Structure 1
Amino acid sequence: MPETLNVQTRDDFGKGAARRIRAEHQIPAVLYGHGMDPLHLTLPGHETALAARNSNALLELVLPGGDSHLALIKEIQRHPLRRTLTHLDLIAVRRGEKVQVDIPVILVGEPTAPAIAVVDAQTLTIEVDALKVPESIEVDVEEKEEGYQLFAGDVKLPAGAELVTEAELLVVAVQLPRVDAELEAAIEENEAAGAELGADAEDSEGESTEESADEE
């Protein structure tokens, strides 16, 4: 079901206008698609932030006159430090329409230790009914052994969804952690460097002793 937001249209643009909107705890946005002229909107801050926790949230935008538009979040802009919403790009959709969206891949379960699951594809692109866009695609790695691989074409998709991503794309691989080998190599390198420095110090000390004996 879509999240309903009561929105306002606006005709003031630019950075100054956007700052004023955000100072009032609202969020500037633009709606486009289906050949319509871009519609510049002001969205309620708190409700929009809650809805935007799902990057593919379906919104029902209710205008002051009572008209409404269905829309998907196309792009979210955030403050670089506070990570608060600063602007939304929205794309208009229609009921029964199929849309292409990027859906995040979420792992479920744990592989057989000491192996770990590595996600190679963070998202998969699918085509799905605009009213049935999933929040995520789950991949089960419970008790999977080292060497297990899952490709996009083998991922179970929600009913009615079609894969757009290339089927041969590697999504998840189960493998032994490489950090131990890297750490061991770093330790060996440090030990070798330490031994070399110790040998140099001994040589220097020997040379100094010999020079002192010669001076005597």
Structure 2
Amino acid sequence: MAEKLNVELREEFGKGAARRLRVENRVPAVLYGHGEAPLHLSLPGHETALVARNPNALIQLELADGSSHLALIKEIQRHPLKRSLSHLDLIIVRKGEKVEVDIPVVITGETVAPTIAVVDLQALTLSVDALNVPEQIELSVEGAEDGHQIFAGDISLPGDAELVTDAEILVVAVQTPRVEEEPEDEDAEGVSEEGEDAEGESSEESDEEE
């Protein structure tokens, strides 16, 4: 289901105009695709931040003139310190078309102790229906033992999604953590022993002098 946002067309451009929008708690954005002229938009800050928590969310953009567009987020720019939204690039999508998106991998279940699941690939690139983009791909490692591996090609994909990522890429590996023993401090022992020897020699020399 698409997330609805009421948006406005932007008539001012440049850094100064974008800064003024952010002060008003709005986010500048550009919508493009399907050979149409880009639309420069102003989005509501709070609502857009909530939608952008899912970078693959389907968005229904409602304009004041009654027109609407379905879109996906192509790129998010954030403030380097505050991490607030600075700008969005949006692409127009239509029913029946496929798009390539990166879907995060989420691990579920527990491996056999003391092993752990190590995620080598954080997301899979899939070709999916633009109106049915999955939020995540769940991989169960319940009961998996040391040496168990899951490659991209082993994963069951939702619906009619197609794998774009190389099927031979390792996604998850189950392994036993290595425990490194602390090396003995031989130098310290040597210094101690040498110190004792030196102390003994000094004592003997003192006795001889007396």
TM-score (norm 2): 0.90
Aligned position for 1:151: 151
- For the aligned residues, what is the CA RMSD? 1.9
> After the TM superposition, which residues 5-154 of structure 1 pair with which residues of structure 2 at under 5 Å, given as runs?
5-154=5-154
CA separation in 2, counterparts of 1:36 and 1:123? 30
What amino acid is aligned across from residue 165 of structure 1 in structure 2? T
Aligned residues: 207
Aligned position for 1:200: 191
SS in 1 for 2:165: coil
TM-score (norm 1): 0.88
1:160 counterpart = 2:160 = yes
What amino acid is aligned across from residue 172 of structure 2 in structure 1? V
Q: Comparing 54-63 with 203-212, which one deviates more in the overlay?
A: 203-212
Shift of 1:110: 1.0
Unaligned runs of at least 5 residues, structure 2: none
What amino acid is aligned across from residue 145 of structure 2 in structure 1? E
What amino acid is aligned across from residue 3 of structure 2 in structure 1? E
Distance 1:13 1:206, change over 3 A: farther
What amino acid is aligned across from residue 176 of structure 1 in structure 2? T
CA separation in 2, counterparts of 1:130 and 1:150? 27
CA separation in 2, counterparts of 1:101 and 1:140? 22
Richer in helix (by share): 1
CA separation in 2, counterparts of 1:126 and 1:207? 72
Q: Comparing 6-15 with 154-163, which one deviates more in the overlay?
A: 6-15
Q: Which structure has the bigger radius of gyration? A: 2
What amino acid is aligned across from residue 163 of structure 1 in structure 2? L
Distance 1:211 1:19, change over 3 A: farther
Shift of 1:38: 2.2
Consecutive aligned runs of 4 or more in structure 1 exceeding 3 Å deviation: 204-216
Shift of 1:201: 4.7
SS in 2 for 1:153: helix
